[in-house]
Structure 1
């Protein structure tokens, strides 16, 4: 039901009632503009794209929190998303009505995330981090479109900073040894174990004695220790189904584990590695790892994952196939392994030269020998 009427002040009032009976009205200087607006509303209703103008008055923070609570995310993802929204999205958009956020403002926000400001004590985020944050906000906006809170997603068309993916440069054995020496006594074996198995941080923190077979010299990876909001820890599934695997243990790792458990008996739930006899959280470990990494001379931001890269580099150096490295690391596909480590495999140029020389070179040598005999 709609109508257009001229007001005493000369304006044209266009109004309509939605399916719930609520009235919506706007005023225009010209009747033709009022009619165009009503036509647009009618078309939106007919095509199923109608959005109640009042629906978008909900704040971005309020809608995002409803969205976040409804998602089926891994425990680690839940904490990660909550942190990204709280630190990087809510300060800019949190108190804004979701329908008022414009694409140009999203673009300006993305640029701000990549800009340092010493006065505000803000460091520029890496392009990869900005991309992840933007994807979360965009997912929230897409949900708002489906819920008929807004007409369109203001994150669509945002130009993101280009990603400069640096090739992995593995640690040296000397650096790994130095890291071990500088770690607290109860975490020294953790360095050897991670460098000798390539397990992920959560997998190492969640290692329990019953997952280690000292006789067969292997470790079973089928869960990890997760840190919930509030720094509570609990066991959870590994990163992907491909992460469930059995890894052979080198003797140096077996010896390090045996010595560690003799000096530091397993903690709660049989955990092999603990910090102050408590399960290790990512935050607590970061406080220990960062000063040690600086002392060793590692680049800022280098985490425990560097030990996983070291393990991969050893396998590649000693001739293991892409498939073997994939399985040992628990990658979902060989493509993921190659994307990360392809530059570490021996270059084929020398093998090409050797192959040709072994055939043509031998023939040339035979011709030379026959010439000299004549």
Structure 2
């Protein structure tokens, strides 16, 4: 048996009594007698490492001994020491192992540093309960939609801890999150789009038509090179994006998702805007870091369509200084970003009768579900269409005749 009594020696002497029979003497007290916990369980964990644990009561030691051997045999063993590391310590290990790209890495790091670690960071990860997370969700100083993103990081973190057998179960169960206001997207009008373009510096005006006419994300538009625009076939090949992270100059990176790498149609207004742009501001070769292959980053010459006044890649910080005045001059609310042009493009397709799949492919969303979640309110005729289909199929209601 692997349960040892540390207060008494397991070896017992014997004597021969007057009747000639051998009798066992009482156990001999050890040097530890009366000090510390009495019962010790020795076992070998799933890595083959010898371990032990002390208990005050023998029944507790016996139950643990039986349970730990079962867990090791079934591959369910969890080292109690792993659960004693803090949430902050485990989060550092977890974040370092994620395949987050630059901007996402910054967002995750900032979210933990500002909103998660100050509240949950010092709690041992094995002692975090759903009540801790519910309290965090109630008091976190974030917009509801942003709080849900932060909570998704916690779900991922604790899910990894379960898979790594750091903890037995995830505490992310039964947590109620703040309700998200389902406010619609701000969709600029065609006049507002033209006004934005008119109020931007001339070298940036065609960017507006790329966003509104093709639905490209801002980084995708800034990452366009001359070779990506096929005027003959009237196509734009979206293969990369220009991105920025703290402390770095802009660099070329992979697009957001696999489906973001796509070919989009080039409508005439956008083609005309790009043709004018190339006449007035010809594409120039720019030395820019290229991290399309993270294992082999390099610096190369890129023939970017859009550059700043110094013929350098456009930085998002300097871009806002030109965009915001132009957006306000067009009558858009403060802090309306380039993404509103993408919303315009999406709703234009939807209202013209495009299917969910068509819109998903044009926008480069990862799944149709993402498109539906983003723009479900823009298919206003679907309910009426369903009603019409049922009415045409079933016809008018008639009172059933009684069966004899």
User: What TM-score results when the alignment is normalised by the length of structure 1?
Assistant: 0.76
Cross-structure match for 1:165: 182
How far off its partner does 1:39 sit?
A: 4.8
Structure 1 contact 14–35 (Cα < 8 Å) conserved? no
Offset at residue 208 of structure 1 (A): 0.9
Displacement after TM superposition at 1:50 (Å): 2.9
Q: For 2:50, what is the secondary structure of its paired residue?
A: coil
**SS at 1:238's partner residue?**
coil
Give the equivalent residue in structure 2 for 1:362. Answer: none
Largest Rg, 1 or 2: 2
Contact 2:195-2:329 at 8 Å conserved across structures? no
Asked if the contact 2:130–2:172 (Cα under 8 Å) also holds between the matched residues in 1, the reply is yes
Q: From 40, 53, 56, give the equivalent of 2:80.
A: 53
Distance 1:290 1:95 in 2: 41
Unaligned runs of 5+ in 1: 114-123, 357-374
Candidates 90, 109, 116, aligned match of 1:63: 90
Alignment of 1:242-253 (within 5 A): 242-253=259-270
**Residue 121 of structure 1 corresponds to which residue in structure 2?**
none
1:138, 1:156 within 8 Å by CA — same for their partners in 2? no
1:272 to 305, 308, 311: 305
Cα gap change, 1:40 to 1:254, in 2 (>3 Å): same
Alignment match, 2:344: 310
Write out aligned runs for 1:27-38 (5 A).
28=56, 32-33=59-60, 35-38=62-65
- State the shift of 1:168 in Å: 3.3
**In the TM superposition, what whole-angstrom CA distance separates every residue of 1:94-123 from its partner, at most 9, and x where no partner exists?**
34443343332222112222xxxxxxxxxx
Cross-structure match for 1:143 = 160
1:329 to 363, 367, 372: 363
Q: 2:380, 2:136 → 1: CA distance?
A: 43
- The reply on whether 1:16 has 2:41 as its aligned counterpart is yes
Between 1:150-159 and 1:1-10, the stretch displaced more is 1-10
Task: State TM-score, norm by structure 2.
Answer: 0.71
Q: 1:138 to 1:314 in 2, by over 3 A?
A: closer
Q: Distance in 1 between matches of 2:86 and 2:225?
A: 45
The answer on whether the counterparts of 1:4 and 1:12 sit within 8 Å (CA) in structure 2 is no
Structure 1 residues 5, 351: closer, same or farther in 2, change over 3 A?
Answer: closer
| SS state at 1:157 partner | coil
Higher helix share: 1
Question: Does the Cα contact within 8 Å between 1:207 and 1:224 map onto a contact in 2?
Answer: yes
How far apart, CA to CA, are the structure 1 residues paired with 2:39 and 2:162?
A: 25
Partner of 2:402: none
The equivalences for 1:225-304 within 5 A come to 225-228=242-245, 230-267=247-284, 268=286, 269-276=302-309, 277-286=311-320, 288-290=322-324, 292-293=326-327, 296-299=330-333, 302-304=336-338
Q: How far, CA to CA, are the matches of 2:64 and 2:386 in structure 1?
A: 71
How many angstroms apart in 1 are the aligned matches of 2:261 and 2:359?
14
- In structure 2, relative to structure 1, the CA distance for the partners of 1:278 and 1:4 (3 Å cut) is farther
- Measure how far apart 1:76 and its partner are: 4.1
Q: 1:262 to 1:146 in 2, by over 3 A?
A: same
- How far apart are the structure 2 equivalents of 1:51 and 1:351? 53
Shift of 1:299: 4.7
Mapped to 1, the partners of 2:107 and 2:256 lie a distance apart of 14
How many residues align? The count is 344
SS at match of 1:83: helix
* Shift of residue 307, structure 1, vs aligned partner: 0.3
Question: Per-residue displacement from partner, 1:258-294 (whole Å, max 9, x unpaired)?
Answer: 3333333324211112335332344554555456545
C-alpha change, 1:14 and 1:103, in structure 2 (3 Å) is: farther
Q: 1: CA distance between counterparts of 2:137 and 2:156?
A: 15
**Displacement of 1:204 after TM fit?**
0.7
**Considering only aligned residues, what root-mean-square deviation do their CA atoms show, in Å?**
3.6
Separation (CA, whole Å) in 1 of partners of 2:343 and 2:365: 13
Q: What residue number does 2:374 align with?
A: 340
Shift in alpha-carbon separation, 1:283–1:18, aligned structure 2, 3 A: farther
- Name whichever of 222-231 and 269-278 sits farther off: 222-231
